[in-house]
Structure formats: C-alpha cells, structure tokens
Structure 1
Amino acid sequence: MPERPMGPDQALVDESTWLDVIHKMDEVYSQLVADEIELERKNTELEQSQQFIISLLTAMSDVLAACSESGVIEQTNAALGELVGQPESRLHGSALTAWMADDVSVARLRQVLATPAMQRGGTVIEVELRDAQGQGVPVDFNVTPRLDASGQRVGWVFVGRPMGEIKRAYHQLREAHEALKRTQQQLVHSEKMASLGRLVAGVAHELNNPISFVLGNVHALQRYTERLRSYLGAVHAGTPAAQLAAWRVKLRIDPVLADLPSLMEGTLEGAQRTADIVQGLKRFSAMDRGERGRVDLNEVVERAIHWVRKGTAPGFEVRWAPGPPCTVLGSAGQLLQVMMNLIQNAWDAASGRPDVTPSLWITGACASDHTRLTFRDNGPGIASEHLSRLFDPFFTTKPVGQGTGLGLSISYGIIEQHGGQLTGANHPDGGAVFTLTLPRTEGSGSAVG
C-alpha cells in the first residue's frame, strides 16, 4: 500500500519531540555523572573517616570494647588484644566475661549488664582481665550505654586503663614523697642545729661566768667548812674558854660566819643563772611542738644579739635601743631562730668588706595591728639577679661548706606560719635591709626600739 506523504506540521512535531528527548537524555546523563562523582566523593570521605576511626582505635593506649546488649564483643582495639594476648578476630563475637580473670570481676560485669537504665555518663567498675600468661591485670572500666538513632540502648562501650603500672608508679611516688618529707625534716633540723652550733662558743662563755662563780664559792665553802670543823672539834673536846677564844681568832670564825650568807646567796644566784641559760638553750634546740604564747620582741631581739655576739661576732656593732614592750603571739624559740639568722647573715655580709666596721641597725615600731622590724647592714648589698631567689631553699651566695641555703627559707616559713611577712631588698644608702612584719596582740607597746 503506498505511503501517505507527511505534512509540514507533522514533520515539525516529530523533530521537536526528538530534540526534547535528546535534551532530557543529556540532562539525565549529566545528573548521573554528577551523582557518580558525588558518590565517589562520599565514598572517599567515608573511607577517610573509617581510616581515621581505625587509626584512633589503634593509637589508643586504653583498652576498648564495644559490646552488644548482652555483652558480646562487636568491636575492639589493638590495646585490648595486646593485653589479653589474643587477635582481634578471636575477640569479636566472644563474651566479654570470658576474658575476666576471676569470679568477682565476672559478677561486677554482669551486674552492670543487668542494669535496666543507666545514665549517659555511665559508671566505673574495677575488674581484672586475664593476660596472655593467665595472670590478672587490674583495669578500671568506664562503662557507658551505646544508643541508636532513636535513643534506644543497643549495647555498651567499655573503655579502661590497666592500673598495674599506675599503682606501681603511685606506690613509688608515695615512697619518694615520704623520703622527701623525711629529708626535708632532717634538713630543717640540720639547719636548726647549725644555728645551735653557732651558739656553742657563746654558751660556753655565758656559762663560764656563773659556773666559775659557783665553783669559787664552793672552794671557799670547803675552806670555811674545814675551819668550822676544827673549831667545833675543839669545843666538843672541852678546850678552855681562853684557848677557844684564841683559836676562834686564829681560824677567823667570825668573818667566816659573816661571809656565809652572801656566799650562799651568790652560789644560789650563779646556779640559777646556769639553770636559766640551760633552760633557754633547751627551748631553742627542742623540735617545734606548735606551742605558742605571748612573746615580747624586745627580749627576743636582745637575746639574739647577745648569742650572735657571744658566738661568732664579738666585734659586731649592733645599734639597737629597745622601747616599750611589744608583744606578739608565737613561739619564742622559733622567733629567736629567725632573729639570729637575720643578725648572723648581716654579720656574714658586712664582715667581708675590708676596712669597714661591720654594723647593723635594727629599728621597728608597733602599729595598731602589726609590728615591724627592719635589719639593715653595711655590707655590699644583694645582687639584682639574687633578689628574687633570696628565700628559695638551698640558695646561697656563701662559699661551699659555709652555708646550707636554708636559713632564710626556714625563717620565711616561720614568719609565714606566724601570720607575718619577711622581705629582703637593698637599702638606698647601701647594704641589705630585711623587713619583718608580725600581727600585733593586745597589750603591746607603741614602739619597738
């Protein structure tokens, strides 16, 4: 049958339709290409994210186990495998309880798994995992619930750290701390004994006077006793009165009897003076027991000047004029140690300058709520680089063997324990100046020196 020829309109419709089809195909192809590129990008990002997560899990030093609701291991990291000595492939699909070292750990783990509701923060349990040698390794597990997109619990995450090394390190740290405390106590006591050692010469000189006085009086009493014994023997022997009178004059009995009261009084005074010195020395040398009372700073400064001069600095010119009593609450022995350290340091600094008489000016005042003492010497002063380290333990500018570097540090601590402050600086007129401030107690005078 012959074909009917197409009209112009029919040919136009068919051509436009094909153009639309071709255009749509181009759009679909372009979209497919774009979707494929986007899919490849997403796959690359997913692989990178997965690699990142794997690297994190591998780098974790803590052990990790992601478990199902019943406690079956679904994911682990290398640290857990190394701890229990098993490959990750064997751990996957096994119960976490199978790797516990004892029944107590199993019971603790099952108790957590049986908890119907747990906060998002989780809980901490201490268990023991069985290592490759079959030994128990203590591990602190932080257990948190693992939730799905809807917020329902689908499992657990166990993150733990083996505590064996930490416990051993803590034990070693505690032993080192105890040893450090013992060493510190020994050093503090050694510094106190070093201060006490500087008193030896002064104590010997101080004790020499009353002891010599008592010793001289005892020798006199011994001679008087012999005379009285001879005279009383003559009396009991019935010697005639005239002969007794002559004997009495010869033995100087009357001057002996007149001298006995003052002799006994002097002996008692010397003995008491010796006892006071020994008692004061015992108070200073005794370990601190925290005993505190009202202390007059005038007396403490006077005693410190006296001991330092008697001990190591007989030619030290100390300018100090005590004023009305100024009382603080504290330990007399500890405050004496501080004063002696400051005065001794001033002597050590000033005595090193040739052709200069070592001198120290001590001044102070009592305000309404505090007491202030200043100690200024005529030494070379303090080097600028040393000002910030004056009170550091073991810091000293003295030659080796002449200082422990603990005197100022201990003094600083004592004043701080008394609620005060100790500072050091250079005086505008030269030399170093140390300022000591202490809280004032009621009943103190208005000035100190």
Structure 2
Amino acid sequence: PEGVFLRVNGEMCRLLGYTEQELVGMTVAQLTFEGDLEKSRVDVARLMRGDITTMSKQKLYRHKSGRAVPCNLQVRSVLDEVGMPKFMVSSVQDLSDAKFAEQKLIQASKMSSLGEMAGSIAHEINSPMAVIQLSAEQLEDPEMVEFFDKEDVAMIAKRITDTVERISKIIRGLKNFSRNAEHDAMETVSLASVIDDSLELCREKFKNRNIEIRMADLPEVDVLCRPTELCQVLLNLLSNAFDAIDERKDGERWVEISGTYRFSRILLNVTDSGPGIPKAVSDRMHEPFFTTKPLGKGTGLGLSISKGIVENHGGHITLDSACKNTRFVMDLPATISTPALASAPEVKLASGS
C-alpha cells in the first residue's frame, strides 16, 4: 500500500542522490515530505485499487541530503489479465532549473514593483520623520517646555512612538516583500492583514495622484498561504489599476477592494474605474512578457506570475468580463472564524469609502 520501488534507472538515482541498491525497496512515503504525505498516500492507494490508471502532477521529492527536488511526475498502471494493477511505471522529470528560473523572474518582478513605488515610499517615510522632528524640537525648546505639564509631554512622547511604529511597519513590509518567499511555510493568516500590508506599500502612491482607495469591511476570513506571495499578487493588481486610471485625463479615479465569502472560498475583487480591458488584450494578458505599457514601465510578468502564485494556493484569478469597469477576481480557499457567518450560505462584503 505504500508503493515500493522495484526498479529504478541511473537518472533517478542521480536525481535523488541514492545508489540503485539503496533506492530499490524504499517506499514513496520515504521520499515524500511530511506536508505532502497524506495526499501522496491517497494517490498511491487510488492507483493500486484501480480507481485511476494514470496520474500526472508536480511533486517535491526528498533528496538523500534532505533538500527538496521539484519534479513533474507521470504515473501509469500496468494491469493484469483481470484488469487490476500489477505494478506502476513512473516517469520523473527534474524541474529544478525551471523552478530556479521561475523564482528569478518572480524576484525581478518584485524589484520592478519596488522601483516603481520607491518615490511614494520615500514620501511615506519622510512625512512621519517630519512629525518626529517637530515633536523633538518642541521638547528641546526651553521656552515651550516651560509651559508643558506631564500630560503635554506624555502626548508628544506618544506621538513620537506612534510615528516610529508607523515607519517601522513600512520598513518591515518592504523587507518582507523584497525577500525570496519560495521556502516560506504556508500559514493561516487573516486576509485583512494581507490586504493591509499590501496597501501600506502603495497607499501614498495613490494619494499623490488623487486616486481613491475604497476598502470593504472584511469579516474574519482566514487563508492558508504564503503572505508575502499573496501580497505580491495584490500589489500587482493594484499597480495595474493605478496605471490604467492614471493614464486617463478625465472621469472617476478610484480602486475598490471587495469580495464574497461562500462555500469555504473567498472571491476577492479588485475593481478600478477604468472601462475594462479589450478582448484582444485579455486573451493574452497572462502570457509572460506580454504588456501594453510603454517601454521601461512594465516587465510583462506581473499577471503571469500572479496566476501561478494563486494556482499554487489552490485558487485561480480571472477577469470579470461582465463588469462594466475593470475587475479582477481572486478565488481562494478560506475559512471564516465566526460561527454565525460560517453557517450562512453567502456573506457579501459591502464596499465603502
């Protein structure tokens, strides 16, 4: 029932770091990481019962050294005379180079986004720095201090500490966003916190161009994710919305984040006041390096990478062609902690300014 290796070729041995003598007799479970173990056992059991005769998926194998080896796995059952599986033949393709290249592209896309946000982030930090400087000057001025009581000093001190925390939050967000999150463990976090972290990095950029951000009052929806990666997806959608609105010379200027929770999934909408995306563009928008932006303003990787990230989280991202504006919908598995809401068939997240 565990799936024992009966025969392996030299390439499989090289890929996983074992000799043929070591690998023959080992089970699939021994080469599978803990987080994938249950799913792997279910897949093997289905093949051995004859429920399915073929299977294709991406899988992380455990190398002899303990490191992960990303592979594309294809399995075919060989049946006996009564149609039951005798054994399985597997073909394993090493995806290490492809995954490495993919991560390089993801990092390049992140750095491009940070470059575009650099000016507004600098302003976002400089503004509170001015508050700290002014507060410190008040405390240093002997003529002003003479009229301060304890409550005044405490109020100024609190203003300084609150402002420092605001700057620290921005810097933490930049640090988390810029690093490689490939090996981060999946964790259950509040979706609202992911949205808040994303907005912290781009809010000033929207404010400087008089683009309103309309934020829904989200219920306590939790998602199992790598927060840095979901933040990257949201920032990409918000950045695309910003560029589309900023190019317009007239009309409304807003971006709205809203959503619907139902059937253990969250449909998160990012809508902007633009008129929508032409079909000729929408048909190609998930292609790597495809962009309609001027040279030097976009890598053409954002939506392609976002699509891959969301799919790796068990979801998908689509363009809502029925919306009169431009709306992207991110569909993700989610849980809601409030029992009353969890039992309801649908909870609409109303938008508001």
TM-score band, normalised by shorter chain: 0.5 to 0.7
SS at match of 1:260: helix
For residue 155 of structure 2, what is the aligned residue in structure 1? 262
Residue deviations 1:29-69 (CA, integer Å, cap 9, x gap):
xxxxxxxxxxxxxxxxxxxxxxxxxxxxxxxxxxxxxxxxx
Deviation at 1:312, TM superposition (A): 5.2
For residue 333 of structure 2, what is the aligned residue in structure 1? 439
Structure 1 residue 354 and structure 2 residue 255: aligned?
Answer: no
> Which of 205, 220, 231 in structure 1 is aligned with 2:123?
205
**Rounded Cα–Cα distance in structure 2 between residues aligned with 1:196 and 1:308:** 10
Structure 1 residue 190 and structure 2 residue 91: aligned?
Answer: no
**Rounded Cα–Cα distance in structure 2 between residues aligned with 1:408 and 1:394:** 9
> Which of 309, 312, 316 in structure 2 is aligned with 1:421?
316
Unpaired runs of 5+ in structure 1?
Answer: 1-173, 228-250
The percent identity for this pair of structures is 32
Q: How does 1:5-404 map to 2 (within 5 A)?
A: 178=97, 183-224=101-142, 253=146, 255=148, 259-288=152-181, 289-305=183-199, 307-311=201-205, 314-404=209-299
Deviation at 1:343, TM superposition (A): 1.6
Taking structure 1 as the reference length, what is the TM-score of the superposition?
A: 0.49
The AA in structure 1 aligned to 2:132 is V
Checking the alignment, whether the CA contact within 8 Å between 1:191 and 1:407 is kept in structure 2 is: yes
Q: Decide whether aligned partners of structure 1 residues 305 and 253 sit closer, same or farther in structure 2, where only a CA change above 3 A counts.
A: closer
**Rounded Cα–Cα distance in structure 1 between residues aligned with 2:99 and 2:260:** 37
Deviation at 1:275, TM superposition (A): 1.8
Deviation at 1:353, TM superposition (A): 3.4
For residue 22 of structure 2, what is the aligned residue in structure 1? none
The AA in structure 1 aligned to 2:267 is R
**Rounded Cα–Cα distance in structure 2 between residues aligned with 1:181 and 1:297:** 27
Q: Decide whether aligned partners of structure 1 residues 355 and 282 sit closer, same or farther in structure 2, where only a CA change above 3 A counts.
A: same
For residue 22 of structure 1, what is the aligned residue in structure 2? none
Structure 1 residue 408 and structure 2 residue 310: aligned?
Answer: no
Root mean square deviation, CA, Å? 2.9
> Which of 331, 349, 353 in structure 2 is aligned with 1:448?
349
Q: Decide whether aligned partners of structure 1 residues 220 and 415 sit closer, same or farther in structure 2, where only a CA change above 3 A counts.
A: same
SS at match of 1:199: helix
Which structure 1 residue ranges, 4+ long, deviate > 6 Å from structure 2? Answer: none
The AA in structure 2 aligned to 1:193 is M
Unpaired runs of 5+ in structure 2?
Answer: 1-93, 342-346
Deviation at 1:202, TM superposition (A): 3.0
**Rounded Cα–Cα distance in structure 2 between residues aligned with 1:412 and 1:259:** 52
